[in-house]
Amino acid sequence: MENNSATLVTATVFTPQAVLNHWQGHRSLTRRVIEAFPEKDLFSYTTGGMRTFAQMAMEIIDLTGPGIQGIVTDKWENADELPHATGNGMPQTKAELLALWDEITDVLNSFWAEILPERFAETVLAFGQYENPVYKTILYFIDNEIHHRAQGYVYLRELGITPPPFWDRP
Amino acid sequence: MENNSATLVTATVFTPQAVLNHWQGHRSLTRRVIEAFPEKDLFSYTTGGMRTFAQMAMEIIDLTGPGIQGIVTDKWENADELPHATGNGMPQTKAELLALWDEITDVLNSFWAEILPERFAETVLAFGQYENPVYKTILYFIDNEIHHRAQGYVYLRELGITPPPFWDRP
């Protein structure tokens, strides 16, 4: 009886809807970090042998859009053939990058609505390489975004620009 | 009927235990990032007007230890009086920092076991300042750790040191 009640309460907390809101909240902050970069630095500034923030943002786009489509359809593109890896289809301006970002926001919302609850526990081979339950795959995508966005924070600080506050998320 | 089944399946996925494992997995990686710093750089290297990685690690310790205790007991220390803010009680060596880290790993496990399921949905005023449901407060603590650890990755890269792989988490 107590176990049953625990199960139901848990279900009202870390729900799929809460996870989507959490993810889109992070995406909204990452969008503001892209916007904070001067156009030139977005595509050219690097440090420590790392990638530009535009390249990192493209990786986030590739994991989010093709990622959520793979989770729903089980059709995965190969990680090495995605735009952030090949450079093909890479946006050339901040406006193009932001337009693609917004497109992926809608893709994420509509594919998320297609995920059946039992899907979260099923194992997938994401991008033909990474074997995990769906829920862990999703947490990985979100964590990867936080990770690279934080590196963008350092780039902005080094450029003398104050990043948007980390805690300011819907 | 379908709703009921959805609820039960959901509950087996984003469970409190899965969230704890996820958090401790991140903590294990952050510990390896601390270890990767040369002792001197851990306490002195900075860029862009930011803090040292030792100070960021201390913030993570302060949110995790006093944070989980606050969630369970509803007794909160003031954010401004925590060691990362005042500098009092700040470890002076890498070995001291790692020992404190390991202590907090145990604190997190034992207090987590005390959280009642209904607690995750209740609103708390974390550290007397941040009003949120418990589940959002916990996600904030985890995200904040990923965020600052990623800044440590940039520091390591700038120091010519290869950080431990981001994906290598239990």
B163: CB partners within 8 A, 6+ apart: B33, B36, B152, B153, B156, B157
Residue stretches of chain A with pLDDT short of 70: 1-13
Chain B neighbors of A147, CB-CB under 8 A: 146-147, 149-150, 153, 166
Chain B closest-CA separation from residue A35 CA (Å):
19
Q: What is the ipTM of this complex?
A: 0.92
pTM: 0.93
Return the CATH number at A69: 1.20.120.450
Question: Cα(B141)–Cα(A167) distance, rounded to whole angstroms?
Answer: 11
Helices and strands of chain B, counted as H and E runs: 7, 2
Nearest one of A52, A61, A72, A70 to A27, comparing CA atoms? A61
- What's the pLDDT tens digit per position in B105-161? 999 999 999 998 889 889 999 999 999 999 999 999 999 999 999 999 999 999 999
Q: B2 lies in a domain?
A: no
Q: B80 lies in a domain?
A: yes
Q: Are A51 and A42 in contact (CB under 8 A)?
A: no
Question: Cα(A69)–Cα(A145) distance, rounded to whole angstroms?
Answer: 17
B45: CB partners within 8 A, 6+ apart: B37, B52, B53, B155, B158, B159
Q: Are B50 and B113 in contact (CB under 8 A)?
A: no
Chain A closest-CA separation from residue B62 CA (Å):
17
B11 near A CB under 8 A: yes
Q: Are A48 and A56 in contact (CB under 8 A)?
A: no
Interface of B with A in 58-117 (CB under 8 A): 117
Report pLDDT for B118: 83
Confidence of residue B2 (pLDDT cuts 50, 70, 90): very low
Chain B closest-CA separation from residue A92 CA (Å):
25
Q: A7 lies in a domain?
A: no
B161 near A CB under 8 A: no
Which of B14, B23, B129 best probes binding to A when mutated, by most A CB atoms within 10 angstroms? B14
Half-sphere exposure of B148 (CA within 13 A, CB side): 24
Q: B9 lies in a domain?
A: no
Q: A166 lies in a domain?
A: no
Chain A closest-CA separation from residue B107 CA (Å):
22
Q: A55 lies in a domain?
A: yes
Q: B133 lies in a domain?
A: yes
Q: B86 lies in a domain?
A: yes
Chain A neighbors of B143, CB-CB under 8 A: 26, 146, 166
- DSSP symbol at A15: -
| Partner residue opposite B154 with nearest CB, options A15, A117, A151 | A151
Range of the domain at A64: 20-158
Q: Are A156 and A162 in contact (CB under 8 A)?
A: yes
> Tell me, what amino acid is at B86?
T
- What's the pLDDT tens digit per position in A59-90? 999 999 999 999 999 999 888 888 888 888 89
Please give the tally of structural domains in chain A. Answer: 1
| Partner residue opposite A10 with nearest CB, options B15, B26, B150 | B15
Question: Cα(A52)–Cα(A10) distance, rounded to whole angstroms?
Answer: 40
Instruction: Summarize chain B as % helix, strand, coil (round to 5).
Output: 65, 5, 30
Contact B140 A167 (CB under 8 A): yes
- What's the pLDDT tens digit per position in B53-92? 999 999 999 999 999 999 999 999 888 888 888 888 899 9
